[in-house]
A and B are shown apart, each in its own frame.
Chain A
Amino acid sequence: MKSWSLGLATVAALYAGVGHAHAWSLKEASAPYKGTTITVVGLDRPSYKIAQQLTPEFEKETGIHVHWNIFPYEDTLKEETLNFISNSQQFDAILSDVVWPVNFADPGWVLPLSKFTSDDKLADPDLDLKDFFPVWLASFTVDNKLYGLPFDSYAGLLYYNKSMLKAAGFDKPPASWDELENTYLPKLSDKSKGVWGYALQSARGETQTADAFARFLWPWGGRFIDYDNKTISVNAPNSVAGITFRQSLLKYMPDGIVSDDHSQVVQLFAQKKVAMITEWSAFYPTLAASNLGDDLGIAPEPKGPKGGYSAFGGFAYMVSSQINKKHQDATYLFIQWLTSKAMAKPLIEGGAVVARQSADEDSSVQAKFPNLAPMVDTWEHSTVPDWRPQLGCYPRFSDIVSDWGSRIELGQVAVQAGLDSMEKDLTGYMKSSNCWGKINNPEAAMAQYK
């Protein structure tokens, strides 16, 4: 029944342009590409699952065959980079994390979207770029050129157990990190009963860099990079204050949290062993399907002394420059369809998270999906597009952050000493890899879309 209604919604979406003045239609636009097969990179996550379910509708309408190639997140950049380095033309639609645009755009591996949006035969008049949240468009803009259309877009959210908070005397979640630590956690944590107030996914790798480190940098005024002076600022006083605060939370977290990844933390929360977690909005379908039931509460992440800077992450689809023009055009048509306004609601209904204002801000949709309102609030008011820096050398940069971040969290090195070492290693690497010349500051592109 669900797939039937989704199918109907998709068909409606496909024909949405029929009444338009010059009647641009996907069917007509795709006619020259009938029979073409395109390969799309995807992840093993809910947004891609529903996208795959809906794809046959696109294939039926266009005659373009879509082959999904699904990877674990950890391997995606490697697979795509190897595809480009070897010029294997294995992938047509390139999936870019919010921190990878410069990796793909700088060597010219992906095409600016203006190449397609300026082509009347390909560009859907209802594309409506302004319907995407500005922070998302800015994130995929390099040198004032937009390279990707956002898909599978996340915000960091505070998930809390309403019953556990109520039993401790709280009728709403904490609004600030200070309140969370000093008011909530002492009352919510009881190690003797195996119950903890908070859990922070901290596993080595991007989880440590994004979830366990950056989350405690920005709200305290810390930064990874000082763009003006071209210096690394992870050991500046504000950064030290944030990471010191993170260490102070450890006593309220389960032992061994340093090795826990998203799945373990979500599991602990779902099993009611942890009262609060800060996780990506993409985990809502998993938690909604758990035994938490009505106990599941969702709010924006707590604010820090310098304001609200919630976690920011997600993806966009880009078109490979290494494939032939026919494949490029067919790929663009698919990306345009997948990220269209008309597809946003069917995707959300199926468990995806999208960055379309018209769908995310729709009160009827928000009523069904409580993760949307705090997500919208975050994207509009409480995050920045360079929450993690966009560097040509980001993978190794992130690796160094993760390495020292883990050591600090384990207590193997003091906060200040660890951050000093991190700064030294990052500075050395940025210099040796000539990475200062391969930086994109998406914050600068925000004005372009506001």
Chain B
Amino acid sequence: MSDRVQDRAPPMAVAPPSWREKMEPWFFILPSVILLLAIGLYPVIYTLVASLQSWVMGMGPPSFGGLQNYAHAFTSSDFGHSVLRTLVLIVITLPIELALGMMIALALDSQNFLVLRRLLQICLVIPIAITPSVVGLLTQLMFNQQLGIINHLLGYIGIPALDWLGRPLSAYTTVLIVQIWEWTPFVALVLSAALSTVPQDIDEAAVLETERWWPRFRSIQLPFMWPGITAALVFQTAFTIKEFDMIYTIEKGGPGTATETAVMQIERMAFRGFDVGLAAAESILMLVLSILLARIYIRVFYREMD
């Protein structure tokens, strides 16, 4: 015991880190921190401050208005309806996008359909690559009752020309269809990436165990996919809440306010009505809603597999 103690080298005196050594890590991350603060935090703080002001551009300088903009936003049926339309858009499109995205991801994962896999990979990129405003303009043309190709094609199977964009419900349905078309490929790609995290040995063992796809999917693939599914949900919810250009170019939120989502209503308040204070308050409320939904998704769906 004592030999051991004697063998042990005397502890070396470690000099305390110098100021420069202490600060060195901070210097490395400082540019990123400054950038994040400038492009992330500053606009949020600016919006927060604006939301507490009575500020209509061109009608005099801003003045402190307390919470009156928030009170106005909460009692405004205009804003309330636009939030409701946004939530309905999320509730309807998200499950469909997930279901279709999952089917595409599984098809891509299948080794048996190489041609289908290549074809799907090409097709998936197309909707993502097209600018949303171009998607909106194409929708406007394709779904036009008199001139559009959709009604023309429906005519071949005996369906009379539908007034896709002229009535509130059908216009909203059109937006749903186009939204699903535009974003399903993105969900499919995210889920495809999640599917690739399934360990190959476990998956092969499952294939040896059973030829049925459902038990393999439910017990082996799905548990590994939950983080990917959660990410898809969070991203898609944020994308849907922010969706502007596509819906705007279809018919500016019309007919009436039938397709006006919350972000469009906020833009209308800020840049058509110039009520910056109210628009800022509504933006903050939508940010809170977005964070809240993301937290719920993470709490309900997020599970990690070892």
Do B166 and A257 touch (CB < 8 A)?
yes
A396 to chain B, nearest CB (A): 3
CB < 8 Å neighbour of A204 from B59, B145, B256, B273: B256
- The verdict on A396 contacting B274 (CB below 8 Å), with A256-B167, A406-B254, A433-B59 known, is yes
A198 to chain B, nearest CB (A): 15
Q: Complex Cα distance A396/B56, Å?
A: 10
Residue A393 lies at the interface, judged by CB distance under 8 Å to chain B: yes
- Which residues of chain B are near A255, meaning CB under 8 Å? 145, 163, 166
- Which residues of chain A are near B171, meaning CB under 8 Å? 259
Identity of the chain A residue whose Cβ is nearest the Cβ of B274 in the assembled complex: A395
Do A399 and B251 touch (CB < 8 A)?
no
- Which residues of chain B are near A75, meaning CB under 8 Å? 271
CB < 8 Å neighbour of A259 from B57, B58, B165, B275: B165
Do A438 and B59 touch (CB < 8 A)?
yes
Q: Complex Cα distance A410/B145, Å?
A: 16
Residue A403 lies at the interface, judged by CB distance under 8 Å to chain B: yes
Residue B252 lies at the interface, judged by CB distance under 8 Å to chain A: yes
Do A393 and B59 touch (CB < 8 A)?
yes
Q: Could you tell me which residues of chain A, from 394 to 434, have a CB within 8 Å of some CB in chain B?
A: 395-396, 399, 403, 406-407, 410, 412, 433-434
- Which residues of chain A are near B144, meaning CB under 8 Å? 264
CB < 8 Å neighbour of B271 from A78, A256, A412: A78
Do A259 and B56 touch (CB < 8 A)?
no
Number of A-B contacts (CB under 8 A): 89
- Which residues of chain B are near A396, meaning CB under 8 Å? 56, 272-275
Q: Could you tell me which residues of chain A, from 197 to 227, have a CB within 8 Å of some CB in chain B?
A: 203-205
Do A399 and B256 touch (CB < 8 A)?
no
Q: Complex Cα distance A273/B78, Å?
A: 36
Residue A3 lies at the interface, judged by CB distance under 8 Å to chain B: no
Do A254 and B271 touch (CB < 8 A)?
no
- Which residues of chain B are near A205, meaning CB under 8 Å? 252, 272
Do B255 and A254 touch (CB < 8 A)?
no
Residue A64 lies at the interface, judged by CB distance under 8 Å to chain B: no
Identity of the chain A residue whose Cβ is nearest the Cβ of B144 in the assembled complex: A264
How many residues of B sit at the interface, in one of the four size bands? 20 to 34
- The verdict on A412 contacting B272 (CB below 8 Å), with A406-B255, A433-B56, A438-B59 known, is no
Q: Mark A62-79, 1 if CB is under 8 A from B, else 0.
A: 000000000000010010
A422 to chain B, nearest CB (A): 13
B113 to chain A, nearest CB (A): 41
Residue B146 lies at the interface, judged by CB distance under 8 Å to chain A: yes
- Which residues of chain B are near A438, meaning CB under 8 Å? 59
B136 to chain A, nearest CB (A): 13
Residue A338 lies at the interface, judged by CB distance under 8 Å to chain B: no
Do B273 and A107 touch (CB < 8 A)?
no
Residue B268 lies at the interface, judged by CB distance under 8 Å to chain A: yes
Do B252 and A434 touch (CB < 8 A)?
no
Residue B253 lies at the interface, judged by CB distance under 8 Å to chain A: yes
Do B163 and A204 touch (CB < 8 A)?
no
Do B273 and A403 touch (CB < 8 A)?
no
Q: Complex Cα distance A78/B58, Å?
A: 11
- The verdict on A204 contacting B251 (CB below 8 Å), with A395-B272, A396-B274, A399-B268 known, is yes
Residue A392 lies at the interface, judged by CB distance under 8 Å to chain B: yes
Residue A103 lies at the interface, judged by CB distance under 8 Å to chain B: yes
Chain A residues bordering chain B, tally (CB within 8 A)? 38
A412 to chain B, nearest CB (A): 6
- Which residues of chain A are near B168, meaning CB under 8 Å? 410, 412
- Which residues of chain A are near B251, meaning CB under 8 Å? 203-204, 259
Do A399 and B58 touch (CB < 8 A)?
no
Residue A289 lies at the interface, judged by CB distance under 8 Å to chain B: no
Most B-side CB within 10 Å, residue of A106, A107, A203, A406: A406
- Which residues of chain B are near A435, meaning CB under 8 Å? 59
CB < 8 Å neighbour of B255 from A259, A271, A273: A259
- Which residues of chain B are near A194, meaning CB under 8 Å? 146
Do B271 and A259 touch (CB < 8 A)?
no
B67 to chain A, nearest CB (A): 16
Identity of the chain A residue whose Cβ is nearest the Cβ of B164 in the assembled complex: A256
Most B-side CB within 10 Å, residue of A82, A259, A433, A438: A259
Residue A85 lies at the interface, judged by CB distance under 8 Å to chain B: yes
Residue A231 lies at the interface, judged by CB distance under 8 Å to chain B: no
Residue A258 lies at the interface, judged by CB distance under 8 Å to chain B: yes
B268 to chain A, nearest CB (A): 6
Q: Complex Cα distance A273/B164, Å?
A: 19
Residue A448 lies at the interface, judged by CB distance under 8 Å to chain B: no
Q: Could you tell me which residues of chain A, from 265 to 295, have a CB within 8 Å of some CB in chain B?
A: 267-268, 271, 273
Do A392 and B59 touch (CB < 8 A)?
yes
Identity of the chain A residue whose Cβ is nearest the Cβ of B166 in the assembled complex: A256
Do B254 and A393 touch (CB < 8 A)?
no
Do B256 and A406 touch (CB < 8 A)?
yes
Most B-side CB within 10 Å, residue of A78, A258, A264, A392: A258
- Which residues of chain A are near B272, meaning CB under 8 Å? 78, 205, 395-396, 399
- Which residues of chain A are near B58, meaning CB under 8 Å? 81, 84-85, 103, 106-107, 392
Do A203 and B254 touch (CB < 8 A)?
yes
- Which residues of chain B are near A81, meaning CB under 8 Å? 57-58, 274
Q: Mark B241-266, 1 if CB is under 8 A from A, else 0.
A: 00000000001111111000000000
In the complex, 8 of the A-B residue pairs with CB atoms within 8 angstroms, ordered by the A residue number, are A78-B272, A81-B58, A256-B165, A257-B166, A403-B257, A406-B255, A410-B256, A412-B168
- B residues touching A (Cβ–Cβ < 8 Å)? 56-59, 78, 144-147, 163-168, 171, 251-257, 268, 271-275
Using A107-B58, A267-B147 as known contacts, list a sample of 15 further A-B pairs with CB atoms less than 8 Å apart, ordered by residue number in A: A75-B271, A78-B272, A103-B58, A256-B164, A256-B255, A257-B166, A258-B255, A392-B58, A393-B56, A396-B56, A396-B272, A399-B273, A406-B254, A406-B255, A406-B257
- A residues touching B (Cβ–Cβ < 8 Å)? 75, 78, 81-82, 84-85, 103, 106-107, 194, 203-205, 254-259, 264, 267-268, 271, 273, 392-393, 395-396, 399, 403, 406-407, 410, 412, 433-435, 438
